[in-house]
């Protein structure tokens, strides 16, 4: 009678495992793309999402077959304990050592929280052990179980460590969309297009406008109070083509690189005086302080892009740095990019448009290090041709843009990516812009988040501050507050 009861309990426990594995496997197969995406977003297994997503399903089906055949049932129970131990270890690592807690992997446990998920798994580990020991209770069985549990746990821990190493160092292009990285909180209608971020100062946000280049819109950080300013030029008799305004400290700077003139004025009266009237011509300009600018211009003779500095403290000095921008094809299009400045760190960051690289330098343009964005495009994919008649260099085909736009606050570089990563939804790509975050002090990738379209329009510009990132989307300005992922590190 006792043996029959044991046999029936072993059969019951085996069937419970079969039901669990079959149901879970079918659920994953029916929604495989979503399952693989969720594994790809896992902070522990993202680097192995491809192989793990297939291996889990195959293992669950194989164990169901073993448990259903009397001859192989004991082996199936041992392996089931090993698999459920692996799942349990994974959850323990997620809850205690992960930088964030992702969504559940779906299937039978989709509605359970991670703690309930852990209890559920532990239940199946325990009943599996009970079934094995009821079948044969001896020293060999106990030792085998202990070894199996240890191997399963260690395997998941090693996967966790190596996955994190691959994500940080080997660039498999798998993003981590950490929950609560940034949250859309406020939106304000600008009633017009053509706006861009001119800068920030004392909690105020300043917008310039390409259609009305002498107009500045000022907002408070909550986007509640709005003011409009009009810049008055002391001398406007210049053939400007594309005027830009940047604000650093208590000053604003107005410039157009096709005209080698820089205006400067105070935010208190918005009156601009001619400040620099000498060369160089430039395509990008970044004020650092009242005596120093970093610019990107073109080398005479070759027309290749170069970076340089303009200093005005005691005398006017231009210093060119020919080594920072590295030529791959033509030195012009292939080195195109964005130039931003971290006031908190006193660092310049230049991010290439067409390759997965950014440059971190000090304000004298001494190289600190070169970093990589998480995609795998190390070589610019451009088709450059020279027109024989004019000698002009042009792109013969649309380029593959890797990095679209950058902004920085302290150590955090926010980069709008032009590429869809592995295991990412193409639907989300159509509805939003992907922002990747890098720590330039540690030279590491942190996480990613979406800035969603407004009225079916994508983001035009963005600016990072101490508490939030602001985006201009069509004729709206939108505020995304930082979550704990960013705030805790900014407060250190």
Same domain, 47 and 113: yes
Which two structure tokens, joined as six digits, stand for 287? 């004020």
Domain that holds residue 340: 182-490
Residue 103 reports pLDDT greater than 60: no
pLDDT digits (tens, 9 = 90+) for 333-376: 999 999 999 999 999 999 999 999 999 999 999 999 999 999 88
Q: For residue 207, what is the domain's CATH number?
A: 2.120.10.30
Confidence of residue 167 (pLDDT cuts 50, 70, 90): low
Q: Is residue 177 part of a domain?
A: no
pLDDT value of position 428: 84
Percent of the chain with pLDDT over 90: 51
Kindly state the DSSP code that residue 416 receives in the 8-state scheme.
E
Q: How far apart are CA 81 and CA 437, in angstroms?
A: 39
Q: Which residues of 342-357 are buried (b: 16+ CB within 10 A; e: fewer)?
A: beebebbbbbbbbbbb
| Domain boundary, last residue among 169, 195, 214 | 169
Residue 171 reports pLDDT greater than 60: no
Q: How far apart are CA 205 and CA 199, in angstroms?
A: 6
Any idea what the Cα angle at residue 160 is, between residues 158 and 165, rounded to 5°? 95
Distances (CA, A) of 321 to 258, 269, 316, 337, 366: 20, 36, 17, 16, 9
Q: Is residue 176 part of a domain?
A: no
pLDDT value of position 238: 77
Q: How far apart are CA 141 and CA 78, in angstroms?
A: 9
Same domain, 409 and 484: yes
Q: For the chain, first and last CA: distance in Å? A: 67
pLDDT value of position 45: 66
pLDDT value of position 422: 77
Residue 109 reports pLDDT greater than 60: no
Same domain, 190 and 334: yes
Closest to 348 in 3D by CA, of 292, 390, 279, 394? 292
pLDDT digits (tens, 9 = 90+) for 78-96: 999 999 999 899 888 877 7
Residue 162 reports pLDDT greater than 80: no
pLDDT value of position 114: 74
Distances (CA, A) of 440 to 164, 408, 421: 18, 10, 21
Residue 160 reports pLDDT greater than 80: no
HSE-CB at 332 with a 13 A cutoff on CA atoms is 17
Same domain, 447 and 369: yes
Residue 471 reports pLDDT greater than 60: yes
Closest to 229 in 3D by CA, of 249, 204, 248? 204
pLDDT value of position 236: 73
pLDDT value of position 164: 61
Count structural domains, the chain. Answer: 2
Q: Is residue 423 part of a domain?
A: yes
Same domain, 96 and 241: no
Q: Is residue 174 part of a domain?
A: no
Q: How far apart are CA 416 and CA 405, in angstroms?
A: 5
Which two structure tokens, joined as six digits, stand for 92? 């323990």
Residue 156, class by beta-carbon neighbours within 10 Å (0-12 exposed, 13-18 middle, 19+ buried)? buried
Contact 393, 330 (CB under 8 A): yes
Residue indicated by tokens 């089906």: 61
| Domain boundary, last residue among 113, 145, 169 | 169
Kindly state the DSSP code that residue 457 receives in the 8-state scheme.
B
Backbone phi and psi for residue 448, each to the nearest 5 degrees, phi listed first: -135, 160
Mean pLDDT estimate for the chain: 86
pTM of the model: 0.73
Same domain, 55 and 84: yes
pLDDT value of position 115: 81
Confidence of residue 281 (pLDDT cuts 50, 70, 90): confident
Q: How far apart are CA 408 and CA 116, in angstroms?
A: 40
- Higher-pLDDT residue of 160 and 453 is 453
User: Under DSSP, is residue 390 helix (H, G, I), strand (E, B) or coil?
Assistant: coil
């Amino acid at each position: 009678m006792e043996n029959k009861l044991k046999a029936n309990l072993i059969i019951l426990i085996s069937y419970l495992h079969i039901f669990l594995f079959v149901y879970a496997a079918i659920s994953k197969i029916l929604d495989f793309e979503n399952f693989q995406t969720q594994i790809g977003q896992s902070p522990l297994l993202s680097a192995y999402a491809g192989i793990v997503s297939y291996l889990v399903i195959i293992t669950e089906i194989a164990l169901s077959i073993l448990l259903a055949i009397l001859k192989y049932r004991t082996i199936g129970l041992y392996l089931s304990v090993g698999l459920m131990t692996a799942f349990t270890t994974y959850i323990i690592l997620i809850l205690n050592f992960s930088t964030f807690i992702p969504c559940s992997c779906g299937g039978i446990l989709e509605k359970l929280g991670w703690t309930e998920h852990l209890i559920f798994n532990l239940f199946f580990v325990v009943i599996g052990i009970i079934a094995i020991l009821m079948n044969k209770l001896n020293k060999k069985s106990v030792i085998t179980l202990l070894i199996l549990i240890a191997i399963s746990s260690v395997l998941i821990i090693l996967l966790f460590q190596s996955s994190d190493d691959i994500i940080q160092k080997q660039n498999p292009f798998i993003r981590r969309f950490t929950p609560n990285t940034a949250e859309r909180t406020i939106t304000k209608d600008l009633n017009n297009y053509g706006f861009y971020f001119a800068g920030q100062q004392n909690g105020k946000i300043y917008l310039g406008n390409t259609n009305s280049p002498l107009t500045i819109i000022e907002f408070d950080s909550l986007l509640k109070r709005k003011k409009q300013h009009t810049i008055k030029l002391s001398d406007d008799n210049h053939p400007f083509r594309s005027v830009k305004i940047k604000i650093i400290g208590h000053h604003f700077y107005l410039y157009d690189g096709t005209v080698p003139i820089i205006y400067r004025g105070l935010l208190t009266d918005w009156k601009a005086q001619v400040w620099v009237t000498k060369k160089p011509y430039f395509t990008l300009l970044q004020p650092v302080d009242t005596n120093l600018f970093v610019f990107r211009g073109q080398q005479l003779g070759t027309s290749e892009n170069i970076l340089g500095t303009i200093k005005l403290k005691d005398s006017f000095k231009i210093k060119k740095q020919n080594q920072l921008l590295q030529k791959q094809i033509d030195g012009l299009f292939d080195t195109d990019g964005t130039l931003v400045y971290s006031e908190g760190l006193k660092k310049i960051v230049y991010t290439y448009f067409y390759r997965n690289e950014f440059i971190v330098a000090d304000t004298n343009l001494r190289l600190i290090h070169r970093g990589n964005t998480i995609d795998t495009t190390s070589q610019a994919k451009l088709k450059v041709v020279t027109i024989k008649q004019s000698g002009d260099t042009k792109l013969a085909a649309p380029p593959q843009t890797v990095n679209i736009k950058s902004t920085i606050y302290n150590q955090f570089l926010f980069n709008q990516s032009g590429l869809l990563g592995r295991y990412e939804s193409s639907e989300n790509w159509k509805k939003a812009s992907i922002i990747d975050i890098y720590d330039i002090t540690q030279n590491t990738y942190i996480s990613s988040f979406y800035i969603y379209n407004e009225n079916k329009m994508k983001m035009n510009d963005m600016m990072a501050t101490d508490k939030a990132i602001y985006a201009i989307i069509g004729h709206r300005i939108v505020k995304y507050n930082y979550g704990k992922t960013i705030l805790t590190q900014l407060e250190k």
